[in-house]
Structure 1
Amino acid sequence: MMSKILLASLLIIFSLTSSALGLHEAEQLALQRADELRQYENKHQALEAQAIAAGQLPDPSLNIAALNLPVNSFSLSQEAMTQIQLGIQQAFPKGHSLKYQYLNLHNQSLAAKFQQELQKTMILKTLREQWNLLYFWQKSLQILQKQRRTFKQLEKVTRSLFANNKVPQKDVLNAQLQLSQVDERLIDAQQSIETTQAELARWIGKEATRRLNAASLATKGQPESKDRLQEKLACHPILKAERADIAAARDKIQLSRQDYLPGFNAGLAYGFRQGRENITGRKRPDFLTGVLTLSVPLFPESRQDKKLLATHKELCALIEKHHASYKELYKQLTKNWIDYQKSEKKLMLYKNKLLPEAKQYASSTLIAYQNNQSDYINVAQSHIYLLNLQLSALKEEINQSQAQINLLYLQGQ
């Protein structure tokens, strides 16, 4: 079993070094493959096209009519009022309705564009988290492999001492047990690597996943100051999309106000007549007709007033939602800033004290055991403690990087 694990580890290392795919390339590939981004892009373009269409005058209507036909003969020349009429009508919406219809849909299209930006930042955040997870399990595998060699050496030491009747057989059995437990953790780490790679394949594909080289964390350097991060918070895609929704709601209010104004239709018709006048014998003149129709809002209490009230309430709801979103994002900013600083202090403690002290203690217990001055249980516990401490330090690196990933997300990056 262990030979298979070691072989798989060597294959992973070989595949990573052959044609490695870095984080930046993986991010670009994930964005290119993201169906979610194309979904919002199509929505943005659809709303923008609707906005342009909504800002245009309605199509004019062409009317052709036969007026005042005598039913006894259906003759066009029998009666003086009989005519064939050709007319055109154009509707003119109320006030500036066309302007606000355009602006309303245009701002909705901007909201869709900002939602696309939000989806982009969420994809990058997810990819970076999976990248860090792959880094964690690959580093864990390396730490476990190194500690396995240590426990293998401890097993040889106990066998040698047991052969010379210097230690009881239980020490040999204990050493074998510790080695088997490390083997179990190696299997878990290998399975976790494969699971994480499967998650990454959802974003960048199987072929690209095989070329991933998570040799470092997804984040580098220090985050910006908290004040600077707070300034950038206002440009988060969530807030930009909500501001676009608020602008669309304001346009909707203005559109509702136009309902208090009259709308009108203008029409012009030309009537062709046949036949001659009975008295003079002259050809009958044609008729020209002009029509202007007004829609007058005489009873606004039950319609226009209620519609305007509804749009005001919609605007108030969106403003409150915007305030709540900012508070939530600011809370996340504060939390992740604190988490980053806390991890920074803990990592310094691991580096300067805990890990050096644990290594020194593990080395001293082994020397004492070889000199028959200590029990094997102390040796095993010291090395297990060192192993767990190394993994805890690695986990704290991931925690710090996760806090920085969250801060990048809050900046819209």
Structure 2
Amino acid sequence: MQTDLWDDFGEVRYNQGRFTEAKALYDRALAMAEKSYPADSPVIAESLLNQAASAYAASQLDAAVAFNQRALSILRPQRANHPEKFIQALSAMASIRLVQGQFEAALTLNNEALNLLRANGSGGELLISTLNTQPMILHNSDRHDDAQRIMQEAVREAERVWGKNSPMLARLLNHLQSILYHQGDEAAAEAAALRALEILQFTYPDGHPEGAAALANVGDFLSETDDVRARAYFDQAISMAKQFDDALAGYSALRSRALMKHRLKDFVGGLSDIESAVALCEQHSPGGSMCYAIRANHANMLVKAGRPQESLEKAQAVVIELERHGLAQSNEYTQALTAKAWAQKALGQLTEAIATQTRAVEIAEKAYGPEHSETKLLRKI
């Protein structure tokens, strides 16, 4: 019972983006589970999955894989009795492989999870969660039509299970919005983002951390077409994140507002926002993938601030940390390399800058293929 409580407390902190606090609570839960239950207990497996999620959030992918594999080794022989936990473990491992750039492995794992769900006639939250992972894998493989089809299936299932005003439905709509936007269907993307926000504002009229994230998401969508409205959404998101002490929503929204200001050549304002985002994410989730992306953005903005040497040092620090965590194929790594290349160019190190950016393109080609949109974008830079 106490194990469940510590896991539950950890989940609350995890969902707030307070990954360091979550890790301490998950450690306590696992220690109690290992003391109280047999080594092959599903209770231990559940704590291991929480540990895997915590390690994943900290970009400690080797540890995440180890925790998840241990959970799978417990659950696979008992999958007939604990199918939902086993499927959860498969889907979690698929998410890890996705971040590692192992798209085929991720797809195989998630397909196994989906096949088990459908064979059992299962629906509800677990099906929706597993369906939600699948489009992310397909989207990163440039299979956007398949990603959209499956995400729409997840949306329909969420409407069936929870109705048309569910926060879970809003979360899925935000993911659908991202897929639609990358396919160039901006009208449908905007409609999905606004519907998600309307659901959350209806459900939580006094505000909520998920509402803060949805406000920022709409701001992201508008930032290239209507910067005045986008700024208003970002301001609301940051204010709401502070109101509910939600670190993840806070540094995500600060990052988005910083990028918009930077694009509008408000370099001072952009740098101020990104430095606030860095401080917040380093306090609560220093090893998280979003924190690495924010630090790479910070390094890039320092070039425009006339501080190329500092930019180079910060970009290189991100590169080294990501390599140490086995994330040298990630989007955050290519962002850090691009920031490093801009700093090298500003310092007159043109040969080094070309070599650095060529390396970023080669990584993208290997991970995504030469015709992937991410690869093409890096070539333009």
TM-score for the superposition, normalised by structure 2: 0.18
Higher relative contact order (CA 8 A, sep 6+): 1
**Higher strand residue share:** 1
**Higher helix residue share:** 2
Greater C-alpha Rg:
1
